[in-house]
Amino acid sequence: MTDHNIPTDHIDVLIVGAGISGIDAAYRIQTGNPGLRYAILEARDAIGGTWDLFRYPGVRSDSDMVTLGFPFRPWRQEKSIADGADIRDYVRETARAFGIDKAIRFRHRAVAADWSSATARCSCAPAIMITPPAMRRTGRAGTVSPGASSIRNSGRRISTCTASASS
């Protein structure tokens, strides 16, 4: 059910998450289908997904970066089993290099999606993540102060278009 009083952004593809898979999907959409409009919803305030979230000492990939990395921007560093910080930087730099970072809506999470068979469209209700000061990172790496996070509706619906079976 769509509330017609809420402003609507029309996009063709909605990507959830700005980690390796989200950045890869965005690249493939913008190069393979340049006429499509897309947006990335990222619940956190940073690009990198897992590699931004987990920052404990010694975190690294258990897969080589030649396999895990982007085929359109190959891993060029000497270590093929990379540290988490190096992977995080690689993901962020890739997003910036291809302009993907401009399509990211930080602190937004998809909280509902409604499919309409009549219009062959899905509408998604994004929410803006609100983090009280007590939840923000402290000066120590990997430490979060106690508190609770809340979500509020962003006041916008995103209408996404999907190709019908007859297309």
Residue 2 in domain? no
Burial class (CB in 10 A: 0-12, 13-18, 19+), 84: buried
Cβ of 98: how many Cβ atoms within 10 Å? Answer: 17
- Residue ranges of alpha helices (H) inside the chain are 20-32, 50-53, 65-68, 84-97
Q: Within a domain: residue 75?
A: yes
Whether residue 1 lies inside any domain: the answer is: no
Which region among 10-14, 35-39, 105-109, 122-126 has the lowest average model confidence (pLDDT)?
122-126
In a domain, 110, yes or no: yes
Q: What is the tens place of the pLDDT at every residue in 34-64? A: 999 999 999 999 999 999 999 989 999 999 9
Q: For the chain, how many helices (H) and strands (E)?
A: 4, 8
Q: Phi and psi (nearest 5°) for 159? A: -100, 120
Residue 3 placed within a domain:
no
Residue numbers of the domain that contains 72: 8-161
Cα(51)–Cα(61) distance, integer angstroms: 9
Does residue 166 or residue 153 have the better pLDDT? 153
Q: Answer yes or no: is pLDDT of 120 > 80.
A: yes
What percent of the chain clears pLDDT 90, i.e. is strictly above it? 53
Q: Tokens in use for 40?
A: 């990335």
pLDDT at 163: 33
pLDDT score at 151: 40
Q: Which residues of 137-159 are buried (b: 16+ CB within 10 A; e: fewer)?
A: eeeeeeeeeeeeeeeeebebbbb
Residue 34 DSSP code: T
Whether 145 is in a domain gets the answer: yes
The pLDDT score that the predictor gives to residue 123 is: 82
Q: How many domains does the chain have?
A: 1
Phi-psi region of 48 (alpha: psi -120 to 50; beta: other; left: phi over 0): left
Task: Say if 166 falls within a structural domain.
Answer: no
Residues in the chain: 167
> Does residue 40 belong to any structural domain of this protein?
yes
Q: For 83-155, where are the alpha helices, taking DSSP H only? A: 84-97
Res 167 pLDDT > 60: no
CATH number at residue 47: 3.50.50.60
The reported pTM is 0.74
Gap between the Cα atoms of 83 and 65, Å rounded: 10
